[in-house]
Amino acid sequence: MNTSDTHNQRMAKMTFASVYPMYVAKVEKKGRTIQELHQVISWLTGFDDQMLQELIMEKVTFEAFFQQATLNPNAQLITGTICGYRIEEIENTLTRQVRYLDKLVDELAKGKKMDKILRG
């Protein structure tokens, strides 16, 4: 799937710190914890809690966030639709990575078991 250049640029320039509180609110509203959210983010990116906090404080863009990440080799197993896009069909690498994260947060909020979310 081809996303527009404008869409891809908007994703790249968005800061992780601006979206993180929404992730927290979404999972907590559904009875999940920040620790579980961090576990999911860590699985995808390789970031520990300290690094995650540094990235939030630095207000890094998603572009910088994923440049510093060590993406989990099983990330390509994250499939399905998110925000109207089929993840496995998104051609722009960064946009696909952001949608991976969105999908994992959605699965966490929907009560999926952690071993399923982490493709274990």
Query: Domain boundaries in the chain?
Result: 5-112
Per-block average pLDDT, block size 10, for the chain (120 residues)? 78 95 97 98 98 98 97 96 90 95 97 93
CATH of domain 5-112: 1.10.8.290
Could you give the C-alpha distances from 16 to 2, 59, 65, 93, in angstroms and in order?
23, 7, 7, 17
Question: What pLDDT does 2 receive?
Answer: 61
Quote the distance between the C-alpha of residue 24 and its chain's center: 12
Question: What pLDDT does 3 receive?
Answer: 66
Whole-prediction pTM value? 0.93
Query: Is the torsion defined by CA of 5, 79, 15, 50 positive or negative?
Result: negative
What stretch of H or E contains 7?
helix 5-13
d(C-alpha 65, C-alpha 59), whole Å? 9
Other Cβ atoms within 10 Å of 9 Cβ, number: 14
